[in-house]
Amino acid sequence: MFSTTTKLDETCHAQPRPTVLLTCADNIMPLSWHTPISKEPFRYAICVRDENYSHELLLKHREFALNFLDHSFVQAHQITGAIHGRGVNKFKESGLSEKKGANATLIEEAYMIYECCVIDVLNYGDHDVFIADVNLIHNKQNKDVSPTLFMGRGAYETISKNPTQIKR
Ligand SMILES: Cc1cc2nc3c(=O)[nH]c(=O)nc-3n(C[C@H](O)[C@H](O)[C@H](O)COP(=O)(O)O)c2cc1C
């Protein structure tokens, strides 16, 4: 039996979402509402609420990075998502290491990083959608990563090490 609602917050909300740490200027914020929107050229969309300091930084600098970190860094996601960054050094708060990329600040501990440039900003509700070109992909080629998935309401998960491989 379904219980039916129009409100996302009234559901169990357990949609595992690959979660990244967005770096813009020298700030960090965790972000789970993001998706690729084009393969060639490689383009990406990220959804950011305007109450977040990162929103202001994205509009100002228009360059950012999406840092994918292993599940073992789950505390850093929780710490950087619990505070707003104006006047706070979230690298210091989280213990993560800052690294200069081509155009954005990167997180050294990430296993993969997209360096992006904003090309459009859309609004269809309470988040703004930043459309971006992914200009560079930095990849440590580490096959043994456990991606960080956010389940909502402070809960995190990762994937099993036994993927179901369908023959093609
Ligand atoms: C795992 C996780 C995922 C989040 N995903 C988003 C998101 O997709 N969009 C958003 O606007 N806020 C999201 N947030 C909330 C922001 O990360 C949070 O408000 C943060 O403190 C903003 O930092 P800032 O003000 O320094 O930019 C998320 C928080 C967590 C913990």
Work out the mean pLDDT of the chain and round it to a whole number.
95
Residues with C-beta less than 6 Å from any ligand 1 atom: 19, 27, 29-33, 47-49, 52-54, 77, 81, 83-85, 127, 150
- Distances from the Cα of 44 to the Cα of 103, 108, 109, 140, 153, angstroms: 17, 22, 22, 20, 25
* CATH 2.40.50.100 is right for the domain spanning 16-157: no
Q: Could you read off the pLDDT of 1-11 as tens digits, one per residue?
A: 888 988 888 87
Q: pLDDT band for 134, please (50, 70, 90 cuts).
A: very high
Give the closest residue (by CA) to ligand 1 atom 2. Answer: 30
Q: Per-residue pLDDT for 74 more than 80?
A: yes
What pLDDT score was predicted for residue 1? 86
What pLDDT score was predicted for residue 69? 98
Q: Could you read off the pLDDT of 149-162 as tens digits, one per residue?
A: 999 889 999 998 88
| CA–centroid distance, residue 52 to ligand 1 (Å) | 7
C-alpha span between 51 and 126 (Å, rounded): 10
Q: Per-residue pLDDT for 60 more than 70?
A: yes
CB contact at 8 A, 55 and 48: yes
Q: Could you read off the pLDDT of 46-57 as tens digits, one per residue?
A: 999 999 999 999
Task: Among 22, 27, 31, 51, name the best residue to mutate to test ligand 1's pocket (greatest count of ligand atoms within 8 A of Cβ).
Answer: 31
For the chain, the structural domain boundaries read 16-157
- HSE value, Cβ hemisphere, 13 Å, CA-based, for 159: 13
| CA–centroid distance, residue 82 to ligand 1 (Å) | 8
